[in-house]
């Protein structure tokens, strides 16, 4: 396993730009990590935390922890939030902190468009001692870290049943020899909630992640909502060329996975989610687990949400 760990760490060190930002399966329940314009969209103080263990069984495989807190002020027209994420892959770890702000504009009786920005700081570290390699001058012998500023921007439109958003991350670029930075990433999301009956609702959605440097990552999602309390669904994740055609990237295009996802609204305030990712390629023997917990902090005068929140 030590050899496998070393190979994985080296691979990730030299392909960090392709690795991109941390992977999430339950972003559909809180999209603030992907789009700052989502901040404050639930109109209550909203806390969401989660832990993700990717490819369990491989030493040095990615692990991610995240905490997001957002709410609204100024007569529900301004969303403010804070996002903290720690991501570790092999010998490289990243800690990011973003402050989010989103202006909400009513454009129709049920339609709201939000424009968001999230300035932040990112600390990236590489601990060469974890690799067990001491004779390679390109790999730091001990911990080597640096801090850089960053900013995300986004736009988000939603009604009671439909939503669509576009955003961009890693907008500030800096060169660092020991740590390869993620490419600038663009996101597009959209989804709709259909009534199947008084007890069941259906929610299809899609997420596209594009860097214009490699095949795009695309998630196709489908969920059913039972009694407005239990979400059950699946996400099919794949890669395909959208804006480029690189034959040498054939192996990258096969980054496919299936995620089974559930979230239960235990009470008016508390919700719990779980996802299980099954790889559909050479890594099919290594699975991924993600757990999330969310909590709504209602004001005393509020007994329920004024409008059901489906995204």
In whole angstroms, give the CA distance from residue 168 to residue 40.
18
Q: Please tell me the least confidently modeled range out of 6-10, 176-180, 262-266, 268-272.
A: 6-10
Structural domain includes residue 29: yes
State the pLDDT confidence band at 120, using cuts at 50, 70 and 90. Answer: very high
Structural domain includes residue 12: no
Residue 37: strand, helix, or coil: helix
Which is more confident, 199 or 215? Answer: 199
pLDDT recorded at residue 205: 95
β-strand partners of 34: none
In whole angstroms, give the CA distance from residue 265 to residue 97.
28
Give the whole-number percent of the chain exceeding pLDDT 90: 50
What's the domain range around 249?
Answer: 24-132+140-296
Structural domain includes residue 11: no
State the pLDDT confidence band at 81, using cuts at 50, 70 and 90. Answer: very high
Q: Do 100 and 72 touch, CB atoms closer than 8 A? A: no
Structural domain includes residue 252: yes
State the pLDDT confidence band at 18, using cuts at 50, 70 and 90. Answer: very low
Q: Do 114 and 95 touch, CB atoms closer than 8 A? A: no
Domains in the chain, number: 1
Structural domain includes residue 16: no
Q: What is the CA radius of gyration of the chain?
A: 20
Nearest to 149 by CA among 125, 173, 132, 113: 173
CATH of the domain at 160: 2.40.160.40
Instruction: Extract the runs of DSSP E, i.e. beta strands, from 141-229.
Output: 143-158, 162-169, 185-192, 194-195, 200-210, 216-226
pLDDT recorded at residue 176: 58
Q: Do 54 and 64 touch, CB atoms closer than 8 A? A: yes
pTM for the complete prediction?
Answer: 0.85
Structural domain includes residue 267: yes
Structural domain includes residue 80: yes
């Amino acid at each position: 396993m030590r050899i496998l760990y070393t190979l994985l760490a080296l691979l990730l060190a030299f392909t960090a730009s392709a690795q991109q930002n941390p992977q999430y399966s339950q972003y559909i329940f809180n999209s603030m990590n992907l789009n700052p314009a989502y901040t404050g969209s639930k109109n209550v103080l909203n806390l969401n935390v989660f832990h993700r263990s990717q490819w369990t069984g491989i030493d040095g495989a990615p692990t991610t922890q995240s905490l997001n807190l957002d709410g609204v002020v100024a007569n529900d027209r301004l969303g403010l939030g804070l996002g903290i994420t720690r991501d570790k892959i092999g010998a490289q770890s990243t800690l990011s902190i973003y402050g989010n702000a989103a202006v909400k504009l009513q454009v129709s009786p049920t339609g709201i468009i939000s424009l968001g920005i999230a300035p932040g700081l990112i600390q990236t570290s590489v601990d060469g001692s974890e690799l067990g390699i001491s004779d390679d001058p390109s790999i730091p012998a001990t911990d080597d870290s640096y801090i850089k500023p960053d900013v995300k921007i986004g736009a988000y439109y939603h009604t009671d049943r439909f939503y669509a958003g576009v955003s961009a991350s890693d907008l500030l670029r800096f060169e660092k020899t020991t740590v390869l930075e993620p490419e600038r990433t663009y996101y597009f999301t959209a989804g709709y909630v259909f009534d199947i009956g008084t007890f069941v609702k259906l929610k299809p959605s899609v997420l596209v992640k594009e860097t214009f440097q490699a095949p795009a990552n695309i998630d196709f999602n489908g969920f059913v909502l039972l009694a407005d309390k239990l979400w059950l669904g699946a996400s099919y994740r794949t890669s395909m060329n959208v804006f480029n055609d690189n034959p040498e990237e054939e192996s990258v295009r096969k980054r496919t996975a299936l995620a089974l996802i559930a979230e239960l609204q235990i009470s008016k305030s508390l919700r719990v989610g779980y996802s299980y990712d099954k790889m559909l390629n050479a890594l099919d023997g290594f699975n991924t687990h993600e757990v999330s917990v969310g909590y709504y902090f209602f004001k005393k005068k509020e007994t329920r949400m004024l409008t059901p929140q489906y995204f």
